[in-house]
Amino acid sequence: MPLKAAVYCRVSTDEQAQEGLSIQAQKEALHQYALSHGMEVVAEYIDEGESARTADRPQFQAMIRAAKQKPPPFEVILVHKGDRFARNREDAIVYKSLLRRECGVEVVSVLEPFDSSPTGRLMEGILEVMAEFYSLNLAQEVKKGMTVRASQARALGLCPFGLTVNDDGTLKHIPEEAAIIRWIFEEYCKEEMGLLKIAQFLRNQGPIVFGPAATKMKWSSIHIRNILKNPVYTGTFMWNRRAVSGKRQKWRDKKEWIVVENAVEPIVTTELFDKANAILRERRGRRSDNYGDYLLRGLVFCKDCGSSMSHYSMQWRNQNGVTIKHKLACTRYIHSKACYFNHVGLEELEQKVFSIIERELARQPADHYYVTYVPPSETQKQLNRLQTLVSSYDERLSRLITAFSAGVLDLKELKAGKEKLLAEKAEAEARLATLKQGLKGPPSWGPSQQPLVRRALEIIADSSMPPAQRRQALQTCLSRVLYSRRAGELEVILKLEPETLEPQEKPHL
């Protein structure tokens, strides 16, 4: 029978325009290689716009997961060149070793054919080292070029609102947009309009007051804040202030910043900029002082639109002094009014959530909330593997019949192969049914999880513990909370592995 092959193609963003590296060109070359070498292509994995400096590529990881199946759906992975697979020497060694030793899958570069001899392995390793050097050197050269460009105050990426680029790459004003920037600073410094009200005005009245320029942004409080904090509007160009790692950003040391004064004609004065930012700091400070690091921070979401729910406070004076009420409201509503005013008292919600965890631990659920569980990752992986395995048997049986029809197998071999497949399928179906049966019934924590939940509740209840530690304890048993004021629903999604996962009918608050 022909070898079963998977095809892996990749282009990074800056390589897509280079001749010979397009996805289509790679696919054609790989399919032609498979055909000429008697291989059957059974799967394709395509990563577009993904760098090979990291193995964290969606289709690459999907290919590795498929190869780990027992048996793997393919015996060889075809790549155009070795650097399509990985430009990181460590990744290349780890993944090729894993595929070869644990999965029985070889990686074949069609333009760099190496045999399994010591010389072949040596040449393959040399090319992998060269690919990694090329990648690291390219990154260094790009950073060097960007640094030179930034030191000349020339644009890098998209221009901020209100600015555009001259032919030499330097910045200049867009007069109609600059007028909006100037108005934002002036209105905010009057302290009569906050971020949200300014955004609302620009969305509703902006086109009337400022013309088409106001329609170029979908104004929200976040946009207004970013404008107020950008020093380029005072004429100062800054670059390399923040380092990005995944979704997180952190400030670099000021010695690494590139700052160019008088890079562009100022839209606002330094005094106006400083005043606006002082007001921003003061208002942010007031919010922080009013309420600190609350336990449900980052865990509550609007059930109607999926947005997070943010903290805000209300305060008023009475004969006993100042009363402050803390609430959570839909972030999308707060910033853009795109949702409705879905809000809930923070202390009230915290008490409900803690009560729900205690009730679930004691197996005394109430009827005023809805509890689901995050499926355990390992259990979900087993389910996925078994379902994929079961669904593959019909195709494998069809290939057996095709081989018999073509004269590759005789009747005895066909019968033996069919019996083996049916036995394997029955075993996989039995395992799948057993796993699913274990996930039925009312949800509850298993005996091994209960002590962990009890300890977490003790830490949560101890107000002397640091807030971050209490929240970390809460996150060991709570995944997230979904709230809908309109529907009167509270859904609490618990995190620790339950004995069962099937949800019950949704009751109302």
Pick from 203, 207, 211, 260: nearest CA to 231 = 260
Q: 338: helix, coil or strand?
A: coil
CA pseudo-torsion sign 112, 118, 122, 125: positive
Could you write out the three-class secondary structure of 412-471? Answer: HHHHHHHHHHHHHHHHHHHHHHHHHHCCCCCCCECCCCHHHHHHHHHHHHCCCCCHHHHH
Backbone angles phi, psi at 2, to 5 degrees: -65, 150
Q: Distance between CA 104 and CA 95 in Å, rounded?
A: 12
- What percent of the chain is helix, strand and coil (3-state, nearest 5)? 50, 20, 30
Q: Distance between CA 107 and CA 140 in Å, rounded?
A: 29
Tokens matching residue 207: 């086109």
Amino acid at 117: S
Q: Distance between CA 251 and CA 160 in Å, rounded?
A: 20
User: Distance from CA of residue 433 to its chain's centroid?
Assistant: 32
> Left (φ > 0), alpha (ψ -120 to 50) or beta: where does 6 sit?
beta
C-alpha separations of 273 from 128, 183, 225, 353 in Å: 51, 12, 12, 43
Q: Distance between CA 477 and CA 47 in Å, rounded?
A: 36
Residue in 12, 109, 220, 484 annotated catalytic: 12
Relative orientation angle of helices 195-204 and 221-229, to the nearest 10 degrees: 110
Active site residue 310: no
Backbone angles phi, psi at 89, to 5 degrees: -55, -40
Tokens matching residue 136: 């690291």
CA dihedral (202, 206, 209, 210) in degrees, to 10, reads 110
Q: Distance between CA 326 and CA 316 in Å, rounded?
A: 12
Relative orientation angle of helices 377-405 and 411-437, to the nearest 10 degrees: 160
Pick from 326, 453, 138: nearest CA to 461 = 453
CB count within 10 Å of CB 442 equals: 13
Place of tokens 């049916």: 422
Give start and end residues of each alpha helix (H) in 299-410.
331-336, 346-361, 377-405
Q: What is the DSSP letter of 415?
A: H
- 478 forms beta bridges with 494
CA pseudo-torsion sign 153, 156, 159, 160: negative
List active site positions: 12
